[in-house]
A and B are shown apart, each in its own frame.
Chain A
Amino acid sequence: MAFTLFRNVIQAQPLFLHSSALLRRKNGVLYCTMKSTSQSQTQTATEEKQQQKSPQKVKVSPQKQMKEVSKIAADYEAVIGIETHVQLSTLTKAFCSCPYSYGAQPNTCICPVCMGLPGALPVLNSRVIECAVKLALALNCKLSFSSKFDRKQYFYPDLPKGYQISQFDIPIATGGSIDLDLPLEFGGGHRRFGITRIHMEEDAGKLMHSGNGSYSLVDLNRAGVPLLEIVSEPDMRTGIEASEYAAELQRVVRYLGVGNGNMQEGSLRCDVNVSVRPIGQAEFGTKVEIKNLNSFSSINRAIDFEISRQVNLHNQGQQDSIVQETRLWEEGAQKTVTMRKKEGLADYRYFPEPDLPEVVLTKDYVDSVGKSLPELPEAKRRRYEEMGLSMQDVLFLANDITVADFFDATIQKGADVKLAANWIMGDIAAYMKNEKLSIIDIKLVPHELAELIASIKSGTISGKIGKEILFELLAKGGTVKGLIEEKDLVQITDLGDIEKMVDKVIAENPKQLEQYRSGKTKLQGYFAGQVMKASKGKANPGVLNKVLVEKLNAKV
């Protein structure tokens, strides 16, 4: 996060000498938009629930967990910052025209540029700038209309050129924020976290270490793939805030279509910095970096573990043993372990990339990109809230842009908001989960869902029949009207018709009638079932029960 970047000493002296203005930057100004930490109290109960939900067999005593967290809330404050790398889903790499596809045969998406062969020169992919501007606008950042690339130099086998093309002191965007809503099972609540900067850079290849040998293996398909690095302000205070921040970034990235933000695939990578300080202390504590986080829940659990570890050391008077280091999260053991101690800061010898020209944005360009932005998750959530939906519904519907679009299309056809939400969140979501389909794949279309809702509301069909029709529509498509006609599903509401059916059923079941009259009034359900069966489920339940009660209790 912000701490790390600006402390790298600039080694390369720019060749023009009005350097003082350039080197001025917000060094070490770590302002925090502090959010209340009282949420952490409510999180204890939900944290244990989270632990139980997680796929790992984790032995965590809930009482111990609660004790830990309440101790923390009382005396210490955790300060968390996150650096996120988002892999852009452009068709070609950042600086060459190689196509990139995840999972391709190793070393088959290469060319002299991304392999760093002598004489090859980088040329920037225009779509990278577009993605960067989109993300910057979505995160309320200030854009640098003039920015540059720099070389970040270090030697490592997955870095063909011996340097990474990145942006050092003049990134494309700075000073933004992200809004999110915490899930209800963690106490809910709205949060806003600051974004320090966003910059463009290229990815390195993939390095695999052999178990015992003295060699490693490199796949350079990924070398040169464009990344956006997003550095947050150290505003998060708990594991859940951090994991929700990452989840919201994923949501925004997917909404914008700039990347698929998949942590498991590595197209969204988070490194977390955690420190604790006694409440009231102004200085930050020593920060520890945590790597190897492969899911949002790992982010959550790793941070909570690290906070407890640091607080325990404080409580034992051993806070000096907290050193600035990088730790790895071990998913199996559910703890962080030392990877290596940071021996001094890395010297990357940054200097401006001479092979790439300045990145210049015009106001017209930025405005046109701004106009092309879809409704963002935060705006959607507020709009859904205003429509009267509960927070739970809001969070579900706004989570995935394809689901939100389906929902929006359905209510645009006039469907009742709450009913549409219920259908989507209930039966439709269950079907999608069972069949492992996304909402785009199902055969049901929004206007048919609207038609279904209207038919039930108008009494044309019963709710139960509606569910059957839904299943048919999901699996095979078709129209509501068509199915009603084809299967003769129109509800029977005519009083006379129902009375006839009831009479028949009563006549056919004298024994049950006797039992009912002698006190077993629960048998009304039996009679109702029989009428339903006879009517093939079409009898209107309300009218049916009214008639039943009348007839069963008559003729005494």
Chain B
Amino acid sequence: MVTGGLLLGRSFPLLLIHSNKTVKLTHGYGHCASYSFLDESDSPCRRQNSAARFSAKTLTNEEAPDVRRLAQTARISLTEQEVEDFGPKIQQVIEWFGQLQGVDLNQVDLGIRAATAADAEEGVNLRDDVPVTFPKMDAIIEGLPSYDEPYVRVPKVLHKED
């Protein structure tokens, strides 16, 4: 089972897609946002040459990615054609990461997580417990797609699994 979200940017899990398509992301709120992705020349999959292509068997399971399930958990709607196309492409991405298997880690201390930009920043790690009222709450409220004062109105979803 392939991971449902590969992190690229800071806040949004995105599916790296080997195409120039615009993909509609549908959230559970019925919200829509469109994102354009890298064009083909930038795609990391392209850069990979066949010699370096690495069998990522040790990293992934033997099964092909269950694209339908992936899309469901990420709340992304795909056409039938996309479901067919994306499987192998996702597998390629995984295999590209699989190159890391070749790194010798015997001399390396075990860490509990990969260091990210958050670790590099000095002095921003912890915050004192001092309240600060956000000055532009009105702007946040105004930006809500559906406001039923004083609440945010959302579609009725009864169970977390739905």
Contact = CB atoms under 8 A, between A and B. Distances in A.
Interface of A: 9, 11-18, 21-22, 90-92, 97-99, 105-108, 110-112, 115-121, 123-127, 129, 146-148, 153-157, 161-162, 170, 207-210, 213-220, 340, 343, 346-347, 349, 351-352, 354-358
B3 A218 contact: no
Contact of A148 (B112, B137, B159): B112
B47 interface: no
B13 to A, nearest CB: 7
Contacts of B10: 119, 121, 354-355
Contacts of A18: 105, 108, 110
Contact of A352 (B5, B11, B113, B146): B113
Interface stretch (B38-46, B81-89, B121-129): B121-129
Contact of A351 (B7, B97, B105, B159): B7
B19 to A, nearest CB: 23
Given A110-B137, A120-B11, A91 B130 contact: yes
B1 A220 contact: no
Given A111-B134, A112-B134, A347-B73, A157 B151 contact: no
B151 A358 contact: no
Interface in B121-145: 124-134, 137, 140-141
B118 A354 contact: yes
A16 B133 contact: no
Contacts of A17: 59, 100-101, 103, 105
A129 B129 CA distance: 11
Contacts of A209: 156, 158
7 contacts: A90-B129, A98-B134, A99-B133, A106-B150, A107-B137, A218-B154, A340-B159
A352 B127 contact: no
B62 interface: no
A213 B105 CA distance: 57
Q: Is the interface of B mostly helix, strand, loop or mixed?
A: loop
The 9 closest A-B pairs by CB, nearest first: A155-B28, A111-B134, A99-B131, A217-B151, A157-B154, A97-B132, A127-B129, A352-B113, A106-B150
A146 B75 CA distance: 34
Contact of B151 (A115, A208, A343, A356): A208
B4 A115 contact: no
Contact of A157 (B97, B113, B155): B155
A98 B153 CA distance: 22
Interface in B24-53: 27-29
Given A106-B150, A351-B7, A155 B27 contact: yes
A340 B100 CA distance: 43
A12 to B, nearest CB: 5
B159 A354 contact: no
A214 B116 contact: no
Given A98-B131, A356-B118, A219 B151 contact: yes
Contact of B11 (A99, A118, A219): A118
Nearest to B102: A17
Contacts of B108: 18
A209 B59 CA distance: 43
B153 to A, nearest CB: 5
A209 B127 CA distance: 35
Nearest to B13: A153
Given A11-B4, A107-B141, A107-B150, A92 B155 contact: no
A125 to B, nearest CB: 5
